[in-house]
């Protein structure tokens, strides 16, 4: 019976050692898996922040481009309005509706010439008095 008892003890010891070895191996695998998960979560977080930063930058650039486009549109509209104004002025001149304006401009130029002549005559008169 002592031999059987020794064999039973050895078999039980081998079974216990195998169970411990199996438990340690599973523990290491579980720890390694947890480590991989942590690394994966960190990488995900980093990728998320990089993509969000890129999205914010692109959104900012898009808003700037939209602003520049609105300014360009406003300038183009202003140029079109000025072109229409000049076209209407040309049409008014063609139809003879702006003759009064031309006469006023002509009278203004004539009036300025007369003023210059008068000032020149006054200065000549003063010079001759001396």
Q: Could you tell me if 51 and 75 lie in one domain? A: yes
How many domains does the structure of the chain reveal?
Answer: 2
Residue 125 falls inside a structural domain = yes
Residue 118 falls inside a structural domain = yes
Q: Could you tell me if 85 and 69 lie in one domain? A: yes
Q: Give the Cα separation of 41 and 33 in Å (integer).
A: 12
Residue 12 falls inside a structural domain = no
Domain extent, residue 64, equals 42-96
Q: Could you tell me if 53 and 77 lie in one domain? A: yes
Residue 20 falls inside a structural domain = no
Residue 85 falls inside a structural domain = yes
Residue 92 has pLDDT above 90, yes or no: no
Residue 52 falls inside a structural domain = yes
Q: Could you tell me if 111 and 130 lie in one domain? A: yes
* Beta carbons within 8 Å of 112's beta carbon, 6+ residues apart: none
Residue 109: pLDDT band with limits 50, 70, 90:
low
Residue 93 has pLDDT above 70, yes or no: yes
How confident is the model over 47-86, as pLDDT tens digits?
A: 999 999 999 999 999 999 999 999 999 999 999 999 999 9
What own/partner pairs with CB < 8 Å and gap ≥ 24 does 33-39 have? none
> Of 18 and 110, which is predicted with more confidence?
18
Q: Could you tell me if 91 and 53 lie in one domain? A: yes
pLDDT given at position 60: 97
Q: Could you tell me if 67 and 92 lie in one domain? A: yes
Burial letters for 55-85: b for 16+ Cβ neighbours within 10 Å, e otherwise? eeeeeeeeeeeeeeeeeeeeeeeeeeeeeee
Residue 8 falls inside a structural domain = no
pLDDT given at position 99: 77
Residue 120 falls inside a structural domain = yes
Q: Could you tell me if 48 and 90 lie in one domain? A: yes
How confident is the model over 2-38, as pLDDT tens digits?
A: 888 899 999 999 999 999 999 999 989 999 999 999 9
């Amino acid at each position: 019976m002592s031999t059987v008892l020794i064999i039973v003890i050895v078999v039980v010891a081998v079974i216990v050692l195998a169970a411990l070895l199996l438990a340690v191996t599973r523990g290491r695998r579980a720890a390694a898996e947890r480590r991989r998960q942590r690394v994966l979560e960190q990488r995900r977080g980093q990728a998320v922040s990089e993509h969000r930063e890129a999205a914010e930058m692109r959104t900012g650039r898009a808003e700037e481009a939209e602003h520049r486009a609105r300014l360009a549109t406003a300038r183009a509209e202003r140029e079109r309005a000025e072109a229409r104004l000049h076209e209407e002025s040309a049409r008014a001149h063609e139809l003879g509706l702006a003759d009064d304006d031309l006469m006023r401009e002509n009278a203004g130029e004539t009036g300025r010439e007369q003023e210059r002549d008068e000032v020149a005559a006054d200065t000549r008169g003063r010079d001759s008095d001396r």
